[in-house]
Amino acid sequence: MKNRIATPTFYLRLCIVLALVLVSATSALTGAKAQRTKIVYYSMFSEGEPLQQVLAQATEDFMAENPDIEVEAVWAGRQNLTQLQSVLAAGDQVDIVDHSDDRVFNAVVVTGLGLPLDDYLETNAYQSDTKWKDTFVASALEIGKSQLDGKTYLIARDDYISAYFYNSAVLQDVDIVPPVTGMSWADFTKMLQAIQEKGIAPLGADGNVSFYNNWYTTYLMLRLAGQEAFREAAYDKTGEQWRAPEFLQAANLLKELQDAKFFQSGFEGSVWPAAQVQWVNGRIGMIFCGAWLPAEMAPQMPPGFKTDMFAFPVIEGGKGNDLVEHWANTYAVLNTTQAADAAVLYLKYMMSPKVVEAIVKIGTPVPIIGAPVPAGLENQYKILDASEAIPARAGLNTEIPEYMNNVFNVCTDKFFQLQNGPEEFIECLATSSEIYWASK
């Protein structure tokens, strides 16, 4: 048998073949990478949430339709903006984030990290001849606009108003059908009395949530004094503007509700979602809340439970009787993105009819013209049509969140939770505002 010995020529050929394989493999890889654009979406949802499942499926579908774009969705949960702080500090890629408009505004727009989307809104919606901006209800576009420079940074995905949500069976029992808008304060309190006489707490509240408590003080003040006066009082460095008679009158109206014991017993220490559970169980007539309430409570609703909504009552002589809060969970594109077109295309897809229908199916309202409306929220857009939409807490949550947390909510909580009376509430607002603004 001939002994075959490898020659130098053999090694040379082997090296050339290996080098060619290596080069072709590398170029194939880099070629594939160059063709595929990657975008990273830091989501406010955690895996398993109903809306996360819809968005995850839609993301898969988007990538199937657009094979040149890869979307990495990070299901970071409600603390996604906190994670954004460290992710950005580490220099990692993030192209899209989402959360409530006030949070995204403060995290992305105020800090100069937002990409203006006005030019993109002028282009066509996903696989449509309609301009993207024309697919949104008008007030939803307003939500996305920055007061700082008038540009649009946020795209509203699911939008909400605040209103009274009532247990339809309870109101049928007292034979009252509340009007969707324009119910007078007198009729409102009469309705509450009628419910109370049936042995049911007319109003429900989870007093441990400041954000919910301050709906009462904010709406009453907005109704009576109007938006401008309310905002001016908050920005007044002396705090004196809170002493205007309309604000005290507003506080007195809330005191009327408390004194009449319209709220459920122990509401001041009720921890969310205790009152909401009582509401679906027929022990509370109605709750003032955001329009997420029906979807949030759907798993606990007994069979046949029906709910509907009406706007906060109007007060005779008030200057802001047509105001309604309207806000949204929104997307924003970061201006550090290397793939703005791909990111916007993804957002257009996520707001396209197919995805929007899937979102509505799980009970979430969307601000898209012609989109179906979830059960129980039919009146949301009727209220919006009949009202002037304003941001949450007249925009103060977005503009001066610290003031709202540390002054307005602190004073409201003490008053709402029965520790203070109306005069003390006003005094608290005036003095705390002065202290707060002096420290800035």
Residues between 90 and 149 with contacts to other proteins, criterion CB under 8 A: 102-103, 106-108, 110-113
Closer of 103 and 231 to other proteins (Cβ)? 103
x-marked contacts with other proteins along 156-195 as a string, rule CB under 8 A:
----------------------------------------
Give the length of the chain.
440
Determine the Cα–Cα distance for residues 108 and 335; give it in Å rounded to an integer. 9
Least distance from other proteins to the Cβ atom of residue 59, Å: 25
Residue 404 interacting with other proteins (CB under 8 A): yes
Pairing of strands 284-290, 154-167: antiparallel
Least distance from other proteins to the Cβ atom of residue 408, Å: 10
**Residue 356, SS3 per DSSP:** helix
Beta bridge partners of 325: 390
Beta bridge partners of 308: 166
Least distance from other proteins to the Cβ atom of residue 277, Å: 8
Least distance from other proteins to the Cβ atom of residue 99, Å: 9
Residue 218 token pair: 């904010």
Binding part of the chain for other proteins, among 25-33, 137-145, 267-275, 338-346 by CB under 8 A, reads: 267-275
Residue 410 interacting with other proteins (CB under 8 A): yes
Q: Which of 22, 25, 177, 435 binds other proteins (CB under 8 A)?
A: 435
Closer of 329 and 352 to other proteins (Cβ)? 329
Closer of 249 and 270 to other proteins (Cβ)? 270
**Residue 145, SS3 per DSSP:** strand
Binding part of the chain for other proteins, among 14-22, 174-182, 203-211, 346-354 by CB under 8 A, reads: 203-211
Residues between 307 and 326 with contacts to other proteins, criterion CB under 8 A: none
Residue 243 interacting with other proteins (CB under 8 A): no
Pairing of strands 388-390, 154-167: unpaired
Q: Which of 40, 58, 84, 347 binds other proteins (CB under 8 A)?
A: 84
Residue 155 interacting with other proteins (CB under 8 A): no
Least distance from other proteins to the Cβ atom of residue 158, Å: 18
Least distance from other proteins to the Cβ atom of residue 64, Å: 33
42: nearest Cα among 4, 94, 82? 94
Site size toward other proteins, by CB under 8 A? 45
Residue 85 interacting with other proteins (CB under 8 A): yes
Q: Is 317 left (phi over 0), alpha (psi -120 to 50) or beta?
A: left
The sign of the CA dihedral 208, 49, 359, 401 is positive
84 Cβ contact list (under 8 Å, min separation 6): 42, 94, 97, 107
Residue 270 interacting with other proteins (CB under 8 A): yes
Least distance from other proteins to the Cβ atom of residue 83, Å: 9
In this structure, what is the dihedral angle of CA atoms 331, 333, 339, 342, given to the nearest 10 degrees? 30
Quick check: 166 and 177 in contact, CB under 8 A? no
Determine the Cα–Cα distance for residues 331 and 342; give it in Å rounded to an integer. 14
Quick check: 95 and 88 in contact, CB under 8 A? no
**Residue 139, SS3 per DSSP:** helix
Closer of 268 and 322 to other proteins (Cβ)? 268
Determine the Cα–Cα distance for residues 236 and 241; give it in Å rounded to an integer. 7
Q: Which of 417, 422, 429, 433 binds other proteins (CB under 8 A)?
A: 417
Binding part of the chain for other proteins, among 41-49, 83-91, 318-326, 359-367 by CB under 8 A, reads: 83-91
Residues between 372 and 401 with contacts to other proteins, criterion CB under 8 A: 397, 401
Residue 350 token pair: 């996520």
Determine the Cα–Cα distance for residues 247 and 154; give it in Å rounded to an integer. 33
Residue 325 token pair: 């809060």
Residue 208 interacting with other proteins (CB under 8 A): yes
Question: In the chain, what is the straight-line distance between the N-terminal and C-terminal CA atoms, in Å?
Answer: 95
Q: Which of 406, 424, 427, 434 binds other proteins (CB under 8 A)?
A: 406
Binding part of the chain for other proteins, among 292-300, 305-313, 344-352, 432-440 by CB under 8 A, reads: 432-440
**Residue 283, SS3 per DSSP:** coil
254: nearest Cα among 309, 319, 207? 207
Which amino acid, residue 46? S
Q: Which of 26, 317, 405, 423 binds other proteins (CB under 8 A)?
A: 405
Closer of 37 and 398 to other proteins (Cβ)? 398
Residues of this chain that bind other proteins (CB under 8 A): 79, 81-82, 84-85, 88, 102-103, 106-108, 110-113, 207-211, 265-266, 268-272, 274, 278, 397, 401-402, 404-406, 409-410, 413-414, 417, 419, 432, 435, 438-439
